[in-house]
Homo-oligomer: A and B are copies of this chain.
Amino acid sequence: MATDRKLRMGMVGGGKGAFIGAVHRMAATLDGQIELVCGAFSSTSEKSKASGESLYLPPDKAYGDFEEMITKEKALPEGERMDFVSVVTPNFMHFPPTKMALEHGFPVICDKPVTFNMEQAKELKQIIDKTGLTFALTHNYTGYPMVKQARDMVKSGKLGKIRKIVVEYPQGWLAASLENQGSKQASWRVDSTKAGISNCIADIGTHAENMAEYITGLKIIEMCADLTTFGEGRTLDDDGNILLRFDNGAKGILSASQIAAGEENDFNIRVYGEKGGLRWYQMEPNSLIVRWLDQPTQIYRTGGSYNGERATTNSRIPAGHPEGYIEAFANVYRNFAYTLRARMQGKEPDAQYLDFPTIDDGIRGMAFIINAVASSKSDEKWHKFTV
């Protein structure tokens, strides 16, 4: 079992028109380890069936809602039923299907931020800890090979003790009020009943926080946030600038924006140690720029023979053939799949494939949102990062 077949994925959300659902499907299936076998794709049974049809699923595999999906799939024999659930709904709908899936014994891979609020996140952690089920969170950007190379270089001490971290995620797509122009993507993100207490920080600030901690292994301990709502009529933040302090004494800046007019997704990070510094830009993800005090700048490249193990195993094609967003996203799914398959076979997962974001990342992400919002509202300069 699970040795001679692809892993079977059921999806919650990701109906027609949902950008991120299609990305999850491409990412999940890219490496031939996973196939989509069923889904509860939309809020209505009719729409879900239409989505299922366009995905060439049998009509009875497009369920009306996630409860139906989980219940009916659970009733099938192993190998016929889905092996795990992928949750790709808006934030407020992460928790219910994830919880139910886990409680029915299904591993889950879930979009970020992990839940609508911290209580839910902590409850999930309890369930995961209790059940021992595999859970992954799609902080997809950490799937890029050069991000893994950056992490390796910091970890190995090549840069020396880290002193400064600058992480930015500027977007410009909400500079105009798309939520009033029929954009589904915009509408739920600026709606506090669906997105939670934050828009920008929750949606992309969490990626920045996760990236900074992932690459450096450091933890934020204090922050001073200035969140802003620029778009007329909005209630949630669409921009945020945050000073950071890390647990080793390093200082940092985190900036996220949806109103940086003209920017696409210029997510980037710079990390400076005592001996050198590195830079990585999501829009040119296959280069890692490393600068030294007294040596020429180096450019590490995806696929380079000189890269470490993690960068190498998370790359598919020869250097110079660009791997992009979908491939990085697929690395999260692939590592999740390898780990899940090993566990289904009763084996210890290979350590290198355990390199995917977990519920702990999810909880830190929720804490980041909560602390950022609190700090921004507060007059105290330094807000302790509490979880």
The answer on a CB contact under 8 Å between B255 and A316 is no
Q: Give, as a whole number of angstroms, the nearest-CB distance from A225 to chain B.
A: 9
Q: Give, as a whole number of angstroms, the nearest-CB distance from A205 to chain B.
A: 14
CA distance A301 to B291 in the complex (A): 11
CA distance A291 to B320 in the complex (A): 13
Give the residues from 265 to 298 in chain A that come closer than 8 angstroms, CB to CB, to chain B: 265-266, 270, 272-277, 282-286, 290-298
Q: Give, as a whole number of angstroms, the nearest-CB distance from A230 to chain B.
A: 5
Binding stretch for chain B, among A29-37, A86-94, A356-364:
A29-37
Give the residues from 140 to 183 in chain A that come closer than 8 angstroms, CB to CB, to chain B: 159-160, 163-164, 166, 168, 170-173, 175-176
The reply on A303 being an interface residue by CB < 8 A is yes
The answer on a CB contact under 8 Å between A228 and B251 is yes
Knowing A262-B292, A276-B262 touch, does A255 contact B257 (C-beta < 8 A)? no
The answer on a CB contact under 8 Å between A32 and B55 is yes
The answer on a CB contact under 8 Å between B301 and A296 is yes
- Residues in B with CB closer than 8 Å to A291 are 172, 261-263
- Residues in B with CB closer than 8 Å to A30 are 26, 29-30, 326
The reply on A252 being an interface residue by CB < 8 A is yes
The reply on A6 being an interface residue by CB < 8 A is yes
CA distance A379 to B382 in the complex (A): 8
CA distance A306 to B291 in the complex (A): 13
Binding stretch for chain B, among A17-25, A61-69, A124-132:
A17-25
The reply on A347 being an interface residue by CB < 8 A is no
CA distance A270 to B304 in the complex (A): 21
The reply on A239 being an interface residue by CB < 8 A is yes
The reply on A100 being an interface residue by CB < 8 A is no
The reply on A234 being an interface residue by CB < 8 A is no
Using CB atoms, name the residue of chain B closest to A298. Answer: B296
- A346-387: CB near B (< 8 Å → 1, else 0) gives 000000000000000000000000000000001111100000
The answer on a CB contact under 8 Å between B230 and A241 is no
- Residues in B with CB closer than 8 Å to A344 are none
The answer on a CB contact under 8 Å between B316 and A306 is no
- Residues in B with CB closer than 8 Å to A263 are 272, 277, 291, 320
Known: A164-B239, A239-B251. 12 other contacts (CB 8 A): A19-B317, A25-B32, A163-B230, A163-B259, A170-B270, A175-B272, A253-B253, A262-B277, A263-B272, A296-B301, A316-B326, A321-B325
Interface residues of A (CB under 8 A from B): 4-6, 19, 22-23, 25-26, 29-32, 36, 53, 55-56, 159-160, 163-164, 166, 168, 170-173, 175-176, 224, 226, 228, 230, 239, 241, 243, 245, 251-253, 255, 257, 259-266, 270, 272-277, 282-286, 290-301, 303-306, 316-327, 378-382
